[in-house]
Amino acid sequence: MNNTVSLAEAANLILATPTVRYLLEGEPGIGKSSIMSILEKNLPGHHSAYIDMASLDLGDTGLPVPVHTDGLTAYYPNGRFKLHLNEPVILMLDEFGKASSRAVQNMLHPLLEARNPRFGDIPLHPESIVFLSSNLASDGVQDDIRAHTRNRVTSIVVTKPDAKQWIDWAGRNNIDPAVMAWVDRNPHCLASYLDDGQSTNPYIFNPRATHAKGAFVSPRSLSVYLQPARDPCQGSVRVATLVTAGIGDYFGPQPDWFSGSPAGGFGGDRRRTRCRRHGSLYQLSGPAAGLCGNYRQAG
């Protein structure tokens, strides 16, 4: 049975079988947590609770509180889980394998039960959805998910979006055209280390590589750090500023995007442009050219 799916397919699986507890495993930065936004759009009547397991301590889950009239204690869950609302919740336990302790993982295990899922003594709303995410064992980032957890979940591997898939997503999510153009020019920046022939790829996360490891290109890094500002001019100048300020080191050794000087760049239909407002001189091509009315072709 093939248990490898895309991000969209993983979201559809969760929506189609909401009582199944899925463990989504994939490379760092591929967009696993973005599945939350897909679920939120499809389930507007649900609350959403994103839980970063790596930053969660045992005391952050909840507290036992004395009920003096009954001579017992009751469990008060932390508000971040939204369980006190007694309404449907989309609950994502992100980076489950990087939980600060096994005690935290064990505390949340009752949420994964097929019969009577609960958190402490708080029952889970029957329409709630719970899913986990983690990295692959081959990523070498010390995720630790024990057998008794895996026995409660259905594990599926989420594949890394390739350049074409990411550009399609970027075009629908207001990503800076300059970034899209760079990815189109350098599609190998979103290759997977699991693919053949990637041992010398300078852009990607690769635990098998012998070259220096550090920052890497991923759907997450491209989406988060290079979104255009509200003013399209400022957004585009921001891209040029990041490039000339050494963002090349972030993308990997010697990228051909603005490499060396403003006279380098994408290639193809090259146009040197200057922002009349900011005076920044750099070169753009294709979909990156003419990003706002403040740009003019420079001599």
Q: Does residue 282 surpass a pLDDT of 90?
A: no
Comparing 33-42, 71-80, 249-258, the range with the smallest average pLDDT is 249-258
- What would the mean pLDDT of 37-54 be, rounded to a whole number? 96
- What would the mean pLDDT of 283-287 be, rounded to a whole number? 38
**Beta strand residue intervals within the chain, DSSP E:** 4-5, 22-26, 47-52, 62-67, 72-77, 89-94, 118-119, 122-123, 129-135, 154-158, 270-275, 281-285, 295-297
Confidence of residue 175 (pLDDT cuts 50, 70, 90): confident
Closest CA to 22 of 107, 101, 93, 74: 93
The whole-number pLDDT of residue 181 equals: 83
d(CA 257, CA 95): 33
> Where do the domains of the chain lie?
4-158, 165-297
The whole-number pLDDT of residue 163 equals: 94
The whole-number pLDDT of residue 223 equals: 82
Strand bridging mode 89-94 / 47-52 = parallel
Task: Tell me which residue has tokens 């009751």.
Answer: 74
- What would the mean pLDDT of 73-97 be, rounded to a whole number? 93
Q: Does residue 208 surpass a pLDDT of 60?
A: yes
Cα separation values, 71 from 49, 67, 74, Å:
32, 6, 10
Residues forming beta bridges with residue 52, ordered by sequence position: 94
Specify whether the CB–CB gap between 135 and 27 falls below 8 A. yes
For domain 4-158, the CATH class is: alpha beta
Closest CA to 291 of 242, 241, 232, 244: 232
pTM to 2 decimals?
Answer: 0.75
